[in-house]
Chains A and B, each alone.
Chain A
């Protein structure tokens, strides 16, 4: 005898917020678990590199303040994927502190399982030496000893396996380090014996909150129900609806392929899925296939610091200058370089972004410039903050006063919106590790602890 398994996804990102009414509607459906994704690499390498979160503590506490009491009072697990955004130790600890604070304030206690996703430089070095590491795509360089040494924080995306284990151990709250986004959702269904293909496909949809509904948003709740041979998805807010196309189209989102998705230890093949409206606003999906990988690999992520940045924002309204802007910028760059001829050219870079002209697409911009005003952002990235700021100050003063040919506006070329004009940005990071590592699901360690009142 088999039962349906229901999973409540409050929102697409912990700390993004969601209407409380939608969440309550979901609770009324008697879910078997509340699962929320907290992770993303979308915001670039800085979060992982600097060890900071993409959302505020206040917002995470607000969202968890609804989720934790709801889960604990109903005896259903609350699972957080990729805690703190990047899911490294520092991000997980940040999340645990918030949970501890909340439990104390609410006078609740809970069994907490923490699943760590950090891999030491030594682990990665050894895997590399054993030939177990390969780049994810051809434009990623092979992992070098030097890149590993420069990357203090390396995480891997976990599959469902350690999460299922933590659920079996009876954890009330599971805080996952970096996870493959659908894994925490898939774990609930797999725990209850459901088809992993359906569980992962549903997880892929739920991890974005109500983005698969119309109008789509990550800031609202969604419910998934896994049966035998199919699952359904439905919006929990009457203002949005799931349709066959909206759910089918969602698998496109942020993925490199519309129906082949690679996860830890498998590939999900959704080519022959059927999407049908079971009842109004409830979309039934079947035909998801999971193809186990020949070797079990996990995706590694790491970021290293590469430079420091100082930048300036300014406006240009002079029509003569706008007519030869890129040419003048090259002359300014050359003059600054000449002034700092004692500094090796590889120690710094000067870049101009001409918003209103081609700021977004750069040299790929197909439109020719028509306009009467441009916002210029220029930056200097350099080995040290002091060097970046020194050179940026020179670029700024050179640009401001540059006497280009034909100039009539001889008092100044730039309108600065702020004083001071030069902004010290701090360190800049890059993804230095984005590779597959042959590994095993056991590589993620689970730690059990008590949280809250009777700790």
Chain B
């Protein structure tokens, strides 16, 4: 098992509009990208579990081959900058995703 944060070249979070947080994971080789994509370890279910949120809060979950990356967009519980928000830019919400364990032994 390897952590997603060790395999990715870029792993970041940011607002996509004030009501959503989007997570981008980009790789520097097609091999790592395909390995993660084919691992079955990254799914709406595993990501929602990593964040302790319901799967319904995940609005988009898309792999994009030309960019060697995938994106997960989740709805915010508190909109950016409203009272109770902890991260106005949504720029530090990626850490739980870095911890996600990837099953690299699975045949791709």
Contacts and interface: CB of A to CB of B under 8 A. Distances in A.
Contact of B67 (A245, A306, A364, A434): A245
A340 interface: no
Given A254-B14, A255-B22, A431-B18, A42 B67 contact: no
Given A248-B66, A258-B64, A366-B50, A137 B19 contact: yes
A46 B51 contact: no
B52 A136 contact: no
A1 B34 CA distance: 44
Contacts of B22: 252, 254-256
B18 A45 contact: yes
Contacts of A96: none
B92 A360 contact: yes
Given A43-B88, A366-B96, A431-B82, A249 B19 contact: no
A284 B50 CA distance: 38
A249 B68 contact: yes
Nearest to A349: B83
A282 B104 CA distance: 35
A334 B30 CA distance: 55
B69 A249 contact: yes
Interface string A243-284: 001001101111111110000000000010111000000000
Contact of A361 (B15, B62, B82, B95): B95
Interface string A288-308: 000000000000000000110
Select the residue from A139, A252, A259, A274 with max chain B CB neighbours within 10 A: A252
A136 B79 contact: no
A325 to B, nearest CB: 17
B83 A306 contact: yes
B83 to A, nearest CB: 5
Contacts of B18: 41, 44-45, 431, 434
Nearest to B68: A245
A353 interface: yes
B81 A139 contact: no
A361 B21 CA distance: 13
Interface in B1-19: 10, 14-19
A254 B91 CA distance: 10
B75 A430 contact: no
Interface of A: 41-46, 136-140, 245, 248-249, 251-259, 271, 273-275, 306-307, 309, 349, 351, 353, 359-364, 366, 381, 428-431, 434
Interface of B: 10, 14-20, 22, 24, 26, 28, 50-53, 59-60, 62, 64, 66-71, 73, 75-77, 79-89, 92-93, 95-96, 99
30 contacts: A41-B17, A42-B14, A43-B81, A44-B18, A44-B88, A45-B79, A137-B19, A137-B59, A140-B19, A248-B66, A249-B26, A249-B67, A251-B67, A252-B69, A253-B24, A257-B71, A257-B73, A258-B64, A306-B83, A349-B83, A360-B93, A360-B95, A364-B51, A366-B50, A381-B83, A428-B83, A429-B81, A431-B80, A431-B81, A434-B18
A139 B86 contact: no
Select the residue from B50, B82, B96 with max chain A CB neighbours within 10 A: B82
A45 B19 CA distance: 11
Contacts of B62: 257-259
B52 A359 contact: no
Nearest to B89: A42
A336 B96 CA distance: 34
A23 B17 CA distance: 30
Select the residue from B19, B59, B70, B85 with max chain A CB neighbours within 10 A: B19
Contact of A307 (B75, B83, B88): B83
Contacts of A360: 86-87, 92-93, 95
B67 to A, nearest CB: 4
A37 to B, nearest CB: 16
A351 B52 CA distance: 21
Contact of B20 (A137, A307, A381): A137
A256 B17 contact: yes
Contacts of B89: 42-43
Nearest to B64: A258
